[in-house]
Structure 1
Amino acid sequence: MRRIAAVILFLCLLAGTAGGIQIVEFCPDPYLSGDPDEYLVIEGTGILDGYVLSDGEGGYRFPPGTRIDGRLVVAKSGPAFEQSHGYLPDFEIQERTPAVPDVIPNGNLQMANRADELFLYHKTTLVQQIAWPGDVCAREGQIHYFKDGVWDPRPLFIGQSCFAPETFEGVAVTAFAAPDCSYEVFSAAVAEAEREILVNVYEFTDEKMAKDLISARERGIAVTVLLEGGPVGGVSAEGRAVAGALNRSGIPVLSMTTTDAAHAKYRYDHAKYLIIDGSTVLLGSENFKPGGYPAAGLQGNRGWGVLLEDTGLAAYFREVFLFDAGGGDIVPLEGTAAELYTPWAPDYTVEFTPCRAEGARVTPVVSPDTSVLILELIEGAKESIAIEQAYITNETACDFNPYLAAAINASRRDVSVRVLLDSVWFNTEGDADNDEMVEVINRLAAAEGLPLEARLADLEANNLNKVHNKGVIVDDRAVLVSSINWNANSPAFNREAGVIIEHPDIAAYYAAVFEDDWNASNKSEASGAPGTDRLKIAAAACILAALTGLYLYRRKRT
């Protein structure tokens, strides 16, 4: 019987059917002119004799005896593929380099950009058929991939990462709010650095934050800064002045942008974080600008941020940073010799000081890789959801933003949902922005009798420049702190960074900040916000403990 089984297994391997060979990835419309780097990937185990790839007009087979054990990449041109991906394929269709073996062509298989089909045959049997449009939606630069029985579970473009979700236990967290105490936490953290600081931020125009990094460099710390090379409106004069000052101090300033060598990995590098000594991460909603990190007692944006102490978590974000900081789309940012300055800002009465807590459970959220975690957070709500956003835009005129839709659906199962949006002029002067969104949400709540309410933030009442936050609190237990805007672009096409923090004290802290903004925005004096007193009491206790926590943190680092 053993001999018979062995013979059967051998015959299956020869037939190439043992490993379930199939197409699992392809890119018909890459960025290079003429698409010489188009490719496909087959996966499985076995001998490829008898297998043919075709587009219905031309095709190819593999040299006799070719074996596959896992993934096998076939590109039109080996050197072009290497230029786009950094390594050579296993086979090429057009003979370009002796380093890559050739398939055996029969006609010309050339994947059309907008509409075409791929067929995988084993002898005369059709094993797999893929069509676009149909199975996937064509878009320049997009890699179509098959995972868990689904094509394109999230958009993936050439050069982008595929980081998996990971959760870290026992993390020490210092929560802070802008404008109250954001700069205080940043400055103290940078001052404690001993070896390395890695910075990734969309925009950097803040004089004092630049000087903090320069001081770190002067005491021997290795500092690297990665910026978005093409923010909306371009890199500002203030941003180029900061880049120049950092460069003159010996700090390399890099930017992510489309170059002759490579297309930018992401539509925008919109993340806002730094990693210190491979053990600490500072992350939040705010750019490194005076409004996001104002000096104590000066007006700024409403934003949330966290300082996270955990080597595993820091290693995760360090890997993200090193991935993003490499490749042909990363070039030095040219700075200027212009003098740095800090613009005038009105006075502000500080209400919130940092809150430190031990033993938190923290899950990174990296867009576009793991943005789905936000949806899962909202869908898992049982009692309450508090949402504070710069803005929310719907996917289409008929379809709600998926995160907002999940929150509305939560209210339909009796979860209390509150949505607070920015009211600055550029978020309210259009015909379909925050004020209309608030009206739509409230009309829906009234029509269906839902525990759902939306408000525009009263910036004057709370002495805020604007609401720039991108935060969510669920069930007074879990908090999203992030750079991820609620639009179609940010979760799917940008590089963004955030964390979901599970800890009651941290949740209470952010809930108190939210309640303060929410109640200040209630002109009717009927807050309808259950639990406000309890949350503020809890947050006050956390704030009282913060001074001791920060003192111990600084003692530990010295």
Structure 2
Amino acid sequence: MRLIAAVLILLCLLAGTAGGIQIVEFCPDPYQPGDPDEYLALEGTGVLDGYVLSDGEGGYRFPPGTRIDGRLVIARGGPAFEQAHGYLPDFEIEARTAAVPDVIPNGNLLMANRADELLLYHGTTLVQQIVWPGDVHPREGQIHYLEDGVWDPRPLFIGQSRLLPATFDGVAVTAFVAPDCSYEIFSAAVAEAEHEILVNVYEFTDEKMANDLICALDRGVGVTVLLEGGPVGGVSAEGRAVAGALNRSGIPVLAMTTTDAAHAKYRYDHAKYLVIDGSTVLLGSENFKPGGYPAPGLQGNRGWGVLLEDPGLAAYFREVFLFDSAGGDIVPLEVTAAELCTPWAPDYTVEFAPCRAEEARVTPVLSPDTSTLILGLIEGAEKSIAIEQAYITNETPYDLNPYLTAAIDASRRGVVVRVLLDSVWFNTEGNADNDEMVETINRIAAAEGLPLEARLADLEANNLAKIHNKGVIVDDRAVLVSSINWNANSPAFNREAGVIIEQPDIAAYYREAFEDDWNAAQEEGAGDAPGPDLLKIVAAACILAGLTGLYIYRRRRI
């Protein structure tokens, strides 16, 4: 028995030494000049004696007796890695700081940016080989990571979070739509705040919303605002004026942008949410602009929003905010002292009041971390899918958007799918935008006889400025409310925020709003409106007819 026990112990020690240790993460092309912060990470359990890392030209081993229990990070330079990631690595290759132990080099292992390989040996046995391009596709700033045996299940860049899916039950939900009742929900929620308001929004230009936050500060509520530092077209004059007013009141206004210290975590911080008192989240598709949160009775965008009351859910979003608002890519926004003003807007007849429901199941959807949840929502449809989007773009001229592909595939198994897109001029004037997308979807539906239809919204009929929504309703049971546009960038590279709400009354509320927009866009109305190319042809035909008439008239005069 003693002999058997000894053998078992020896086998366990050997297994711990030579089994299960592998490279699980590496970054060959970080942002710092010269890549002093390039690194790799090992995972496993055991003694690293006999393990060697190499790129086929140089390599290193570990000091005798080095043990790994979980994760171990090796960087070229400790200080550079700390600057990029906020903590020191376990080992460094180039002796830069006494605080970090050194590996034992044999030559110089430098990971090339565009093409190279990593080799992990145990003795003379090749344990693991990673080649790029091949196993991974290189890109500046990208961290390549192994998950469930797959490299790079989603793009991950330096500084980004790695959130896991989470679901919260028993959430109280107040659903609202813009322009009908969005501002009243925002204003009331801010007015009820007692301790803290955290704001993360892509653009903030609304005077009255800024004043609401200032009033909250005046009664002792701590307020912090995080904005995108480089939105498309830059921060507007109105945005800098609002930021200036907030800043002068004592509210810190931060911006996410590339700095000398760090690259921006995300291509755009495009989220739109508040966290109030660690118990409530307000989230939606709309920026904090007059069109997204108009005063009651004024025209604005069609958008969806939701107020969520649950401490666990609020804690989740609070952690997201604290993560995103920290680091070298966060700086005070440059502001101005210009006066605030609210632009004129046409009158609007309110149709939808807010809808409150209890006991909802809510799943946060954060891009780029968990945006694949949208695919799961669509793929799980059994009866119907209603999609209302500002726009949908394809991945390439030959590949449909993956969310749209999932919806079309659902129609192929009998699910009734309807797609409503914005029809404002900047979403229809090009040669590959919403009107062409509607034509493409309807052409597929006709060719295959699918229960699938797409329309352009009739903005005039519904007195809307534009469709800015990014929403989906599935089977009248689950709803996506989010900031996530259906393009290649938004789900994969932006920070976006949304939720999937499972509650039949809430689904019915958004379904009613969708039906109102859908029915205004009659099949023979806005959905079949002439596109820019047709208008050009008609205009050319009119000019040609005029010239022909003038020629005939002159011939007759002669």
TM-score, scaled relative to structure 1: 0.93
Check 1:192–1:5 CA distance in 2 against 1; reply closer, same or farther (3 A cut). same
Give the alignment's Cα RMSD to 1 decimal: 1.3
Say yes or no: does 1:199 pair with 2:228. no
Which residue pairs with 1:517 in the alignment?
A: 517
2:117 maps to a residue whose letter is E
Task: Using the TM superposition, give the Cα deviation of residue 9 of structure 1 relative to its aligned residue in structure 2, in angstroms.
Answer: 3.5
- SS where residue 44 of structure 1 aligns? strand
Task: Using the TM superposition, give the Cα deviation of residue 8 of structure 1 relative to its aligned residue in structure 2, in angstroms.
Answer: 4.0
Task: Using the TM superposition, give the Cα deviation of residue 343 of structure 1 relative to its aligned residue in structure 2, in angstroms.
Answer: 0.1
Task: Using the TM superposition, give the Cα deviation of residue 334 of structure 1 relative to its aligned residue in structure 2, in angstroms.
Answer: 1.7
Which residue pairs with 1:480 in the alignment?
A: 480
Alpha-carbon distance between aligned partners in 2 of 1:114 and 1:397, rounded to the nearest angstrom: 26
2:323 maps to a residue whose letter is F
Say yes or no: does 1:125 pair with 2:134. no
Task: Using the TM superposition, give the Cα deviation of residue 15 of structure 1 relative to its aligned residue in structure 2, in angstroms.
Answer: 6.6
Alpha-carbon distance between aligned partners in 2 of 1:9 and 1:405, rounded to the nearest angstrom: 54
Alpha-carbon distance between aligned partners in 2 of 1:80 and 1:229, rounded to the nearest angstrom: 25
Which residue pairs with 2:111 in the alignment?
A: 111
Task: Using the TM superposition, give the Cα deviation of residue 229 of structure 1 relative to its aligned residue in structure 2, in angstroms.
Answer: 0.3
Which residue pairs with 1:185 in the alignment?
A: 185
Structure 2 matches for 1:79-118, cutoff 5 A? 79-118=79-118
Instruction: Answer yes or no: is the 8 Å Cα contact 2:455–2:526 preserved in 1.
Output: no
- Give CA-to-partner distance per residue, 1:110-167, whole Å, 9 cap, x none: 1111111111000000000111111111110000000111111111100000111100
Which residue pairs with 1:279 in the alignment?
A: 279
- Give CA-to-partner distance per residue, 1:404-432, whole Å, 9 cap, x none: 00000000000000000001111111110
Which of the pair has more CA radius of gyration?
A: 2
Which residue pairs with 1:140 in the alignment?
A: 140
Structure 2 matches for 1:199-348, cutoff 5 A? 199-348=199-348
2:457 maps to a residue whose letter is A
- SS where residue 250 of structure 2 aligns? coil
Alpha-carbon distance between aligned partners in 1 of 2:292 and 2:525, rounded to the nearest angstrom: 29
Say yes or no: does 1:491 pair with 2:482. no
Alpha-carbon distance between aligned partners in 2 of 1:2 and 1:299, rounded to the nearest angstrom: 84
TM-score, scaled relative to structure 2: 0.93
Task: Using the TM superposition, give the Cα deviation of residue 526 of structure 1 relative to its aligned residue in structure 2, in angstroms.
Answer: 13
Instruction: Answer yes or no: is the 8 Å Cα contact 2:132–2:138 preserved in 1.
Output: yes
Q: Which runs of 5+ in 2 are unaligned?
A: 528-558
- SS where residue 98 of structure 2 aligns? coil
Alpha-carbon distance between aligned partners in 2 of 1:41 and 1:35, rounded to the nearest angstrom: 16
- Give CA-to-partner distance per residue, 1:75-103, whole Å, 9 cap, x none: 00000000000000000000100111111
- SS where residue 111 of structure 1 aligns? coil
Instruction: Answer yes or no: is the 8 Å Cα contact 2:368–2:493 preserved in 1.
Output: yes
Task: Using the TM superposition, give the Cα deviation of residue 344 of structure 1 relative to its aligned residue in structure 2, in angstroms.
Answer: 0.1
Alpha-carbon distance between aligned partners in 2 of 1:164 and 1:41, rounded to the nearest angstrom: 20
2:66 maps to a residue whose letter is T
Which residue pairs with 2:470 in the alignment?
A: 470
Alpha-carbon distance between aligned partners in 1 of 2:188 and 2:334, rounded to the nearest angstrom: 29
Task: Using the TM superposition, give the Cα deviation of residue 398 of structure 1 relative to its aligned residue in structure 2, in angstroms.
Answer: 1.0
Task: Using the TM superposition, give the Cα deviation of residue 524 of structure 1 relative to its aligned residue in structure 2, in angstroms.
Answer: 3.4
Which residue pairs with 1:408 in the alignment?
A: 408
- SS where residue 34 of structure 1 aligns? coil
Alpha-carbon distance between aligned partners in 2 of 1:487 and 1:85, rounded to the nearest angstrom: 29
Alpha-carbon distance between aligned partners in 1 of 2:249 and 2:2, rounded to the nearest angstrom: 72
Instruction: Answer yes or no: is the 8 Å Cα contact 1:12–1:18 preserved in 2.
Output: no
Task: Using the TM superposition, give the Cα deviation of residue 10 of structure 1 relative to its aligned residue in structure 2, in angstroms.
Answer: 3.6
Say which is worse superposed, 518-527 or 499-508, in terms of deviation: 518-527
Instruction: Answer yes or no: is the 8 Å Cα contact 1:15–1:47 preserved in 2.
Output: no
Which residue pairs with 1:69 in the alignment?
A: 69
- SS where residue 471 of structure 1 aligns? strand
Task: Using the TM superposition, give the Cα deviation of residue 240 of structure 1 relative to its aligned residue in structure 2, in angstroms.
Answer: 0.3
2:209 maps to a residue whose letter is M
Structure 2 matches for 1:497-512, cutoff 5 A? 497-512=497-512
Instruction: Answer yes or no: is the 8 Å Cα contact 1:14–1:47 preserved in 2.
Output: no
1:180 maps to a residue whose letter is D
Alpha-carbon distance between aligned partners in 2 of 1:116 and 1:236, rounded to the nearest angstrom: 43
Alpha-carbon distance between aligned partners in 1 of 2:5 and 2:464, rounded to the nearest angstrom: 75
Task: Using the TM superposition, give the Cα deviation of residue 18 of structure 1 relative to its aligned residue in structure 2, in angstroms.
Answer: 5.5
Q: Which runs of 5+ in 1 are unaligned?
A: 528-558
Check 1:3–1:321 CA distance in 2 against 1; reply closer, same or farther (3 A cut). farther
Which residue pairs with 2:530 in the alignment?
A: none
Alpha-carbon distance between aligned partners in 1 of 2:426 and 2:526, rounded to the nearest angstrom: 28
Alpha-carbon distance between aligned partners in 2 of 1:88 and 1:439, rounded to the nearest angstrom: 54
Check 1:206–1:228 CA distance in 2 against 1; reply closer, same or farther (3 A cut). same
Instruction: Answer yes or no: is the 8 Å Cα contact 1:16–1:49 preserved in 2.
Output: no
1:490 maps to a residue whose letter is S
2:519 maps to a residue whose letter is N
Alpha-carbon distance between aligned partners in 1 of 2:523 and 2:385, rounded to the nearest angstrom: 22
Instruction: Answer yes or no: is the 8 Å Cα contact 1:392–1:437 preserved in 2.
Output: yes
Alpha-carbon distance between aligned partners in 1 of 2:383 and 2:135, rounded to the nearest angstrom: 38
Alpha-carbon distance between aligned partners in 1 of 2:526 and 2:180, rounded to the nearest angstrom: 26
Say which is worse superposed, 11-20 or 264-273, in terms of deviation: 11-20
Check 1:99–1:456 CA distance in 2 against 1; reply closer, same or farther (3 A cut). same
Alpha-carbon distance between aligned partners in 1 of 2:514 and 2:13, rounded to the nearest angstrom: 61
Check 1:6–1:355 CA distance in 2 against 1; reply closer, same or farther (3 A cut). farther
Alpha-carbon distance between aligned partners in 2 of 1:9 and 1:302, rounded to the nearest angstrom: 67
- SS where residue 84 of structure 2 aligns? helix
Alpha-carbon distance between aligned partners in 1 of 2:15 and 2:360, rounded to the nearest angstrom: 53
Check 1:526–1:27 CA distance in 2 against 1; reply closer, same or farther (3 A cut). closer
Task: Using the TM superposition, give the Cα deviation of residue 11 of structure 1 relative to its aligned residue in structure 2, in angstroms.
Answer: 5.1
- Give CA-to-partner distance per residue, 1:9-49, whole Å, 9 cap, x none: 34553575465000000000000000000000011000101
- SS where residue 420 of structure 2 aligns? strand
Alpha-carbon distance between aligned partners in 2 of 1:329 and 1:11, rounded to the nearest angstrom: 49
Alpha-carbon distance between aligned partners in 1 of 2:485 and 2:38, rounded to the nearest angstrom: 32
Structure 2 matches for 1:422-461, cutoff 5 A? 422-461=422-461
Instruction: Answer yes or no: is the 8 Å Cα contact 2:47–2:65 preserved in 1.
Output: yes
Structure 2 matches for 1:534-549, cutoff 5 A? none
Structure 2 matches for 1:51-66, cutoff 5 A? 51-66=51-66
2:134 maps to a residue whose letter is G
- SS where residue 273 of structure 1 aligns? strand
Check 1:6–1:156 CA distance in 2 against 1; reply closer, same or farther (3 A cut). farther
Alpha-carbon distance between aligned partners in 2 of 1:2 and 1:275, rounded to the nearest angstrom: 61
- Give CA-to-partner distance per residue, 1:457-490, whole Å, 9 cap, x none: 0101110000000000000000000000000000
Say yes or no: does 1:27 pair with 2:7. no
Alpha-carbon distance between aligned partners in 1 of 2:6 and 2:489, rounded to the nearest angstrom: 53
- SS where residue 454 of structure 2 aligns? strand
- Give CA-to-partner distance per residue, 1:183-212, whole Å, 9 cap, x none: 010000000001000000000000000000
Which residue pairs with 1:536 in the alignment?
A: none
Alpha-carbon distance between aligned partners in 2 of 1:152 and 1:192, rounded to the nearest angstrom: 43
Say which is worse superposed, 425-434 or 17-26, in terms of deviation: 17-26
Instruction: Answer yes or no: is the 8 Å Cα contact 2:261–2:329 preserved in 1.
Output: yes
2:485 maps to a residue whose letter is N
Q: Percent of counterpart pairs with the same letter?
A: 86
1:374 maps to a residue whose letter is I
- SS where residue 248 of structure 1 aligns? helix
Instruction: Answer yes or no: is the 8 Å Cα contact 2:381–2:415 preserved in 1.
Output: yes
Alpha-carbon distance between aligned partners in 2 of 1:506 and 1:6, rounded to the nearest angstrom: 64
